[in-house]
Amino acid sequence: MATQLELEVILAAQGGLSAPIPGDEWRTVLGVGGQYCSVRLRFPGELPLGQASRVQADFLFPEAVEHFPAGTQFTVWHGGVVGNGRVLAVAA
């Protein structure tokens, strides 16, 4: 079961990305408190820019989930900070 997140990828004008993320998944990095963890984000269709979206996250290393308890706010890193979000629920 995946960890549930809400995140927003910021627009290029604010230092983010220039186009929505196509497909059903995006491999990127989440950061919190100096810890950075590789994840696979899963979502239906494409991930839009500039609006909050709910996604599922699968951490590359399962022990990384301990840095992301429910309610944690994080950044999305993809060559620099391109978004932010919060953890809604942690996989059991």
What is the rounded CA–CA span in Å between residue 10 and residue 59?
22
Residues 36-90 pLDDT 10s: 999 999 999 999 999 999 999 999 998 898 999 999 999 999 999 999 999 999 9
CATH no. for residue 28? Answer: 2.40.30.10
Give the pLDDT score at 62.
86
| Domain enclosing residue 39, as ranges | 3-89
Please give the C-alpha separations between residue 31 and each of 3, 23, 45, in angstroms, as whole numbers: 15, 23, 24
Residue 91 clears pLDDT 90, i.e. is over it: no
Domain count, the chain: 1
Using the predicted structure, report yes or no on whether residue 1 has a pLDDT greater than 70: no
What pTM was computed for the model? 0.92
